[in-house]
Structure 1
Amino acid sequence: MRPYHNIEIVECGERFIEIPLQDFAVESPHPYEKLGAPYGEHSPYFARESVVNYLFEAQKYLQQIRPDWRIQIFDAYRPVAVQKFMVNYTFSQAVREKGLRELTLSEAQKQSIWEEVYKIWAEPSLNKKTPPPHSTGAAVDVTLVDEMGQIVHMGSSIDELSERSLPDYYIDIQIEQAPRYHANRLLLKDVMEKAGFTRNPKEWWHFSFGDQMWAWLKNEANLDNKCIACYGRLF
C-alpha cells in the first residue's frame, strides 16, 4: 500500500483518447514495446481527454519561455499487464547489473532488489481500489527536447533505479552540471504544474492529473482540500 491508495476513486467516465503525437516529441518505437511489453488494443500514447488537453497547455507554457522546445512524451497509458512485464524486467535487469543470477539469489537479496524496484515502479495491482497510476490514463512520463530536437539533460535517465531519480537530487550535489540539471527539472515541473499536473515526489519525470496520487498530493499541500480521484483503472 502507498499513502495515496487511501484516496477514494469515483470514476467520472471521461474519454480515453489518443495523444496527437505530431504535436509532441516521442521516442519511436516506444521503449517498452521494443522490449515486448504486451499493450494489446491501445498504444502507450493514450490518456484521458483532460490529460491530453493539459499536455497542450504545458507545452504552450514551455514555449513562452523556450519558443522552440517541446515536451517529449516517454510514456502514458500502461495496462496492468505491461506494468507487471516492466516490473519483472526491471528486477531481472537489476540482478544482472549486480553480477548475480536469479536462480541463486538468497531471500534477503531478493527482498533488497524488490525494494529497489518498487521505489520507482508501482505494484501491478488488479485491485480496483489500488490501480497503478498509468493504468488509469491519468499519468504521463515526460521530459524536454531543445530547439535542435535533442533531449535536454536532466542528470538521470527515466526509470533509473538510483537516488538521482529524486526530483531535488541535484540541489546539493557538488558537480559542475548540477545547477543545469536542477534548473531543467524545475522548468519541466513548472510548466507541467502550471497546466494542472502534480509531480511524483520520487520521480522527476512522472506527472499526473485526476488519479489517486494527484488527489493525495493536492490534499497534502492543503489540508483543507478534500480531493478524490476521478480516474480509476481502465479495462
Structure 2
Amino acid sequence: MKTISAVPSRRDYWAQQMQLGYDLIQQVIPFEVHECGEGFASLPDAAERAGIEMQFSESKIAGELERVFFIREGLVNKLMDIGRAMNDRGWILKIEDGYRSQDMQSQLVRKPELFDAILKKCIWENDGQLPPTELVFRRATVLIANIPKIGTHMSGSAVDISVFRRDDGSEVWRGNPYLEMSERTPMRSPFIEADDLQNRLEITALMEAHGFMHFPFEFWHYNQGDAMGNILSGHPAPARYGPVHWDPQTNRVTPYDEPLRPLNPLDAIEQEIAAATQRATTSI
C-alpha cells in the first residue's frame, strides 16, 4: 500500500525551507572561487543587437538606486539564447534585476517593504512573538543575500526574471508576481496551483538548458558560474565568478576584500527590527 505523505503546515514548510536555504548557504561559504576578472556587458544593448524582444524592470531597487542590467560578458549570449527561445515560444523574458553593487545589496536588505515582509513571517513563525535577531538575520541571509559571497547578483552572474506572453502581454503566472516573501516563494511550494507550478518548472527547464541554475528558495532567481551555481549544478571545480566591485567607466572588476563579512551585521538587523516594529505600530 502506498503511503500518502501529508503536506506540512504553511508555517512548518516556511521554517523547513528557510533552514534548507541556510544549509545550502553553509555549503557556498567555503566553496573555492578563482575570480576570472571578466568584465560586464549590457543586456538591453545585447537584446537590441540580436533583435530579441525582452523587457526590463523600470522600478528602483531601493531608495533612488536604479537597477543595473549588466552581467558578466561570458553569460550574455546564453541569456540571449534564452530570450530568443522564449520569443519562439510566444513569451517575453523580463529581466527584473542584474548586477548589484555593495551599496545596492546592503540597502536592499534594509528596504522597508522587503524587511517588513520577512519580519512579519518570522513573527508568524515564532508563534506571534517578536523573534530573536539571529532568526531574522538567517532569514534575510537566505532571501536577500546579506553576505557578498552568496550574493550572486554581486558577482554579476545572476538575474531575477519574470515572463510575459507576446500576444496579449499577460504574465506567465507563477503563483505570485516578483517579489514574494512567503511560503509560496520556494520554487516547488505546495501552496500554489498546479498550473502555476508547471509554469515555474517550464521556465526553469528553459533557463537551466542554458546553464542558469535556479535558486530553490526563490522562484525568480537564476545564476551561473559562481559558487552557488557550481554547487547546484554539481560542478566541483572552483567558480569563475565571485563578488566584485565593478567600474562601469573602465569595465574592470575588483574582488571583494572580505566576501564573507555580512553587509548588515546583527546589530544593524536589530536596529532594522526596531524600525520595522515602529512602522507597524504607527500604521495601526
Query: TM-score, normalised on structure 1?
Result: 0.78
Alignment of 1:79-228 (within 5 A): 79-89=101-111, 90-95=114-119, 108-125=131-148, 130=149, 132-147=151-166, 148-170=168-190, 173=191, 178-219=193-234, 225-228=235-238
Q: Normalising by structure 2, report the TM-score.
A: 0.65
2:55 to 25, 28, 32: 25
* Residue type at the aligned position of 1:32: I
Shift of 1:25: 1.1
Task: List per-residue Cα deviations over 1:186-230 (Å, max 9, x = no partner).
Answer: 1210110111111111111111111110111122xxxxx422210
2:61 match: secondary structure:
helix
- Farther off after superposition, 156-165 or 190-199: 156-165
Contact 2:215–2:222 (8 Å) recurs in 1? yes
Name the residue aligned to 1:102: none
**Cα distance in 1 for residues equivalent to 2:212 and 2:118:** 30
Q: Say whether the 8 Å CA contact 1:9–1:232 is kept in structure 2.
A: yes
Q: Distance in 2 between matches of 1:229 and 1:213?
A: 9
1:156–1:31 Cα change, 3 Å: farther
On the 8 A contact 1:216/1:227 being kept in 2, the answer is no
- Deviation, structure 1 residue 131: 5.2
Q: In the TM superposition, what is the alpha-carbon distance from 1:117 to its structure 2 partner?
A: 2.6
Deviation at 1:143, TM superposition (A): 1.6
Q: Is the 8 A contact 2:121 2:182 kept in 1?
A: no
Contact in 2 for aligned 1:198/1:209 (Cα 8 Å): yes
Any stretches of 5+ residues in structure 2 without a counterpart?
1-24, 124-128, 246-284
1:166–1:98 CA distance, 2 compared to 1 (3 A): closer
Q: Deviations over 1:76-116 (max 9, x none)?
A: 101121111011112245457999xxxxx96x354443343
Q: CA–CA distance in 2 between the matches of 1:54 and 1:187?
A: 17
CA change 1:192–1:97 in 2 (3 A) is: closer
For structure 1, the residue ranges without an aligned partner over 5 or more in a row are 100-104, 220-224
Report the equivalent of 1:222.
Answer: none
Pair 1:210–1:25, CA change in 2 (3 A) = same
Q: Deviations over 1:32-89 (max 9, x none)?
A: 15x323x6xxx5101011221111111223234x2x3111100010112111101111
Secondary structure of the residue aligned to 2:76 is helix
Distance 1:202 1:97 in 2: 15
**1:61 maps to what in 2?**
85
Calculate the aligned-residue CA RMSD, in Å.
2.5
Matched residue of 2:159: which SS? strand
Judged with a 3 Å threshold, the aligned counterparts in structure 2 of structure 1 residues 143 and 8 are, in CA distance, closer, same or farther, namely: same
Distance 1:10 1:112, change over 3 A: closer
2:55 counterpart of 1:36 = no
User: Kindly tell me: are residues 95 and 10 of structure 1, through their superposed partners in 2, closer, same or farther at Cα, counting changes over 3 Å?
Assistant: closer
Q: 1:198 to 1:97 in 2, by over 3 A?
A: closer
Asked if the contact 2:141–2:147 (Cα under 8 Å) also holds between the matched residues in 1, the reply is no
SS in 2 for 1:36: coil
